[in-house]
Structure 1
Amino acid sequence: MRFYDHRQAGEELAARLVEWAADGDLTNALVLALPRGGVPVAAEVARALRVPLDVIVARKIGAPGSPEVGIGAIAGEDPPVYDTQALHMLGLTEDDLAADVARERAELHRREDLYRRGRPAPDVEGRTVILIDDGLATGVTARAALRRLRTGRPARLVLAVPVCAPEAAETIKEDADDVVCLHRPSSFRSVGEWYEEFAQVSDDEVISTLRSPGLGQVPKSSLSP
């Protein structure tokens, strides 16, 4: 099973989530996307569920020499979340990655400023929050975002993705109340291999999507700075 592009993946994920939410009350729900790839996926879900869309920015900490391999991640001002097994296998300590964390923290703030344009982070207290990305490989970035969101006291915290590595989906159950994944291939190398078109989503596309009619953002934040 491969998806054509982010939009088609979002449409299929939306159909599953409409079924998942059939017996629930979504009047106080919101969809949060992990930018950038999660935004076009999440937009389809937000439209189908008729709930607001916003973003939570998290940044991956890549392995030295292989930045595409996530061994840690950050969200907000929270401490980094690390894949401790990966650190051990690579012979790394958290101190070894301090410069990488500082660089990614600066990029995180740049993107938050760019996407929000002065808007506060979304208020998640007492809400059903559906966090969406375009796929789950190691799961460390989603885990950092989920832990950040949990501090805002949501009523229910759900992770939903079109495709995921089976072991990552199992691990992340510790941080989400529900995990919805359409496709869990036994052989998983990267998220991009499960899309025919996996074009990079631009900052402009993120901003344009967040401003789309019917995808209103949610009010002030309950997350601590």
Structure 2
Amino acid sequence: MFKDREDAARQLAMLLEKYRDNEDVVVFAIPRGGVVIGRVIADYLNVPLDITVAKKIGAPFNEELAIGAVGPTGNPIIDERTVNILHIDEGYMERAIRKKVDEIRARLEKYRGNAYYRSLLGKKAILVDDGIATGYTVRAAIAFLKDLKAGKIILATPVIAPDTWAELKPQVDEVVYLSSEEPFYAVGQFYEEFGQVTDEEVIKLLNS
């Protein structure tokens, strides 16, 4: 068990030592908790820190039931099997995706201002979060980094559900993690302290 996000990030950073002082490496954190992890790792590796925002798409009768996710470009990752089983219509999906993209763009403006994402052609992108359960938002973030033409994508997280690890492994070049144990109920079970991270903290970390 980790004391907090900083403790987990320091341990995770050690496993990424080979990327230290590499001018072709950029760390991309998924807000909000992932930015705490990303700041520690980027500082340790002496590489830039950026963010990518992705949002889960919830079912019409239960927002907590994820049926997909979407990133800044609006290209969704959809769980077609669940959508078909629940008979979710195309109109709902279009509205839900549009709403999430608006939320993503508002959050990006808050965190990054009007800065454009640069091409990652020839770059190595280390995508970090404070833990991965279902992996929907991570899939959308991976798709976004591929849209930016990342030469290599390394997924790094302190904890990841075993089934999710198996699903995500073929989608990236490398998965680096500290723990992948069953039973896996929630990311927070692996932390002594797992408080909410505020927008203000995210902005401060990005500017530090």
Q: Same fold (TM over 0.5)?
A: yes
**How many angstroms does 1:205 deviate by?**
0.8
Partners of 1:193 and 1:69 in 2: CA distance: 20
Q: CA RMSD in A?
A: 1.9
Q: Equivalent residues in 2 for 1:88-103 (5 A)? A: 88-103=84-99
Partner of 2:122: 126
Partner of 2:3: 4
Of stretches 29-38 and 74-83 in structure 1, the one that deviates more from structure 2 is 74-83
Partner of 1:217: none
Partner of 2:101: 105
Partner of 1:30: 26
Partner of 1:146: 142
Partners of 1:94 and 1:42 in 2: CA distance: 36
1:193 to 183, 186, 189: 189
- Residues 73 and 41 from structure 1, CA distance in 2 versus in 1: closer, same or farther, beyond 3 angstroms? same
Structure 2: unaligned runs, 5 residues or longer: none
Partners of 2:128 and 2:173 in 1: CA distance: 14
What is the DSSP-based 3-state SS (H/G/I as helix, E as strand, rest coil) of the residue aligned with 2:43? helix
**How many angstroms does 1:52 deviate by?**
0.5
**How many angstroms does 1:66 deviate by?**
4.1
What is the DSSP-based 3-state SS (H/G/I as helix, E as strand, rest coil) of the residue aligned with 1:27? coil
1:53 is aligned to 2:49? yes
Per-residue CA distance 1:18-66 (angstroms, 9 max, x = gap):
2xx26x8822111000111100011111111110001011111123454
2:178 to 182, 185, 189: 182
8 A contact 1:83–1:140 mirrored in 2: no
Partner of 1:13: 12
Structure with more of its chain in helix, by fraction: 2
Partner of 1:75: 71
Identity of aligned residues (%): 38
Partners of 2:177 and 2:80 in 1: CA distance: 24
Of stretches 86-95 and 139-148 in structure 1, the one that deviates more from structure 2 is 86-95
Structure 1: unaligned runs, 5 residues or longer: 213-225
Q: How many residues align?
A: 208
2:113 to 109, 113, 117: 117
- Residues 188 and 92 from structure 1, CA distance in 2 versus in 1: closer, same or farther, beyond 3 angstroms? farther
- Name the amino acid aligned to 2:4: D
What is the DSSP-based 3-state SS (H/G/I as helix, E as strand, rest coil) of the residue aligned with 1:109? helix
